């Protein structure tokens, strides 16, 4: 069953767009929409947890959770970036091989 999708209009500064476009173009099969969707899939749960904590009023718990969540998010992004670079590297090696 296909996933229902909704259109989103996104405006980025030219320098950021150019860098983002270059990264997406260098990964076979990746699209701008797909990359944004993956980033938001990681970002939204973190923000939902932080919002729940903000309702609790416990500032120490909020600070600790923010640190943990942001650290976890950074590690997840780094792992995904590393995996994408490996894929690009393998693709480039395959392209260089004689048939």
Residue 99's pLDDT band (boundaries 50, 70, 90)? Answer: low
Look at residue 90 and tell me whether its pLDDT is greater than 80.
Answer: no
pLDDT at position 14? 97
Domain count, the chain: 1
Residue 2 lies in a domain: no
Residue 5 lies in a domain: no
State which residues form the domain around 33. 14-96
Evaluate whether 53 touches 65 at the Cβ level (below 8 Å).
Answer: yes
Q: What is the pTM of this model?
A: 0.58
Residue 9 lies in a domain: no
Residue 90 lies in a domain: yes
Residue 22 lies in a domain: yes
Nearest in space to 84 (alpha carbons), one of 40, 31, 12, 14 = 31
Three-class DSSP labels, 7-75: CCCCCCCHHHHHHHHHHHHCCCCCCHHHHHHHHHHHHHHHHHHHHHHHHHCCHHHHHHHHHHHHHHHHH
pLDDT at position 4? 92
Nearest in space to 45 (alpha carbons), one of 76, 69, 9, 65 = 69
Residue 85 lies in a domain: yes
Tell me the per-residue pLDDT of 6-59, one tens digit each, with 9 for 90 and over.
Answer: 999 999 999 999 999 999 898 888 899 988 988 888 888 877 877 787 777 777
pLDDT at position 13? 96
pLDDT at position 6? 92
Residue 4 lies in a domain: no
Residue 3 lies in a domain: no
């Amino acid at each position: 069953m296909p996933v229902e999708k909704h259109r989103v209009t996104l405006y980025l500064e030219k320098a950021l767009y150019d860098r983002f476009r270059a990264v997406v173009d260098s990964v076979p099969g990746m699209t701008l929409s797909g990359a944004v969707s993956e980033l938001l899939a990681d970002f939204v749960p973190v923000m939902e947890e932080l919002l729940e904590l903000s309702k609790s009023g416990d500032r120490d718990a909020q600070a600790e959770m923010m640190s943990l969540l942001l650290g976890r998010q950074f590690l997840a992004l780094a792992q995904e970036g590393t995996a994408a670079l490996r894929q690009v590297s393998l693709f480039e090696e395959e392209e260089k091989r004689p048939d």
